[in-house]
């Protein structure tokens, strides 16, 4: 079992930046692909970004490409999502997820999920 805890969500102004963290416990995630998803009010959860086990391969939703960066530090069992140039439509609960498939980083079908962290973008 892998337990995931997200942090870093906050209220941020449009155009600003923030970094989300996802700390894993239970087992090492160095062989797992990791992903970030989000769910806005009244909408379905959607894929945001994913990274393979080594951090060499990444995958992004078109809506965040060029603005968000996913990274990982396997020595700390942690995954990050750097968010820049945030927009109002980035407001959502952001979830971290882990998948046993090492690569390529999948965009769906994850095995483990965190509880989420709220990101609110204001104008």
> Which residue from 99, 96, 79, 105 is spatially nearest to 45, judged by alpha carbons?
96
More confidently predicted of 89 and 105: 89
- Whether 36 and 20 have beta carbons less than 8 Å apart is answered as yes
Are residues 23 and 7 in contact, defined by beta-carbon separation less than 8 angstroms? Answer: yes
Q: Spell out where 2-116 has E strands.
A: 3-7, 11-13, 18-25, 33-39, 46-51, 58-60, 68-73, 78-83, 92-99, 112-113
Mean pLDDT of the chain: 96
User: How much of the chain exceeds pLDDT 70, in percent?
Assistant: 100
Q: What average pLDDT does this structure show over 5-20?
A: 98
89/16 Cα distance (integer angstroms): 13
The pLDDT assigned to 8 comes to 97
Tell me the pLDDT tens digit for each residue of 25-56: 999 999 999 999 999 999 999 999 999 999 99
Question: In this model, does residue 64 exceed pLDDT 90?
Answer: yes
pLDDT of 116 > 90? The answer is yes
Q: Are 51 and 33 in contact (CB under 8 A)?
A: yes
Assess whether pLDDT exceeds 90 at residue 107.
no
**CA-to-CA distance for 89 and 106, rounded, in angstroms?**
23
pLDDT attached to residue 84: 98
């Amino acid at each position: 079992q892998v337990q995931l805890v997200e942090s870093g969500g906050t209220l941020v102004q449009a155009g600003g930046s923030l970094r989300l963290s996802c700390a894993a416990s239970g087992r090492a995630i160095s062989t797992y692909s990791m992903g970030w998803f989000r769910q806005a009010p009244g909408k379905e959860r959607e894929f945001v970004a994913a990274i393979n086990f080594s951090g060499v391969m990444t995958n992004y939703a078109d809506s965040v490409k060029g603005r968000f960066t996913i990274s990982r530090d396997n020595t700390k069992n942690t995954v990050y999502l750097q968010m820049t140039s945030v927009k109002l439509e980035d407001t959502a609960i952001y979830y971290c997820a882990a998948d046993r498939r090492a690569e390529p980083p999948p965009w769906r079908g994850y095995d483990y999920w965190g509880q989420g962290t709220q990101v609110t973008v204001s104008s």
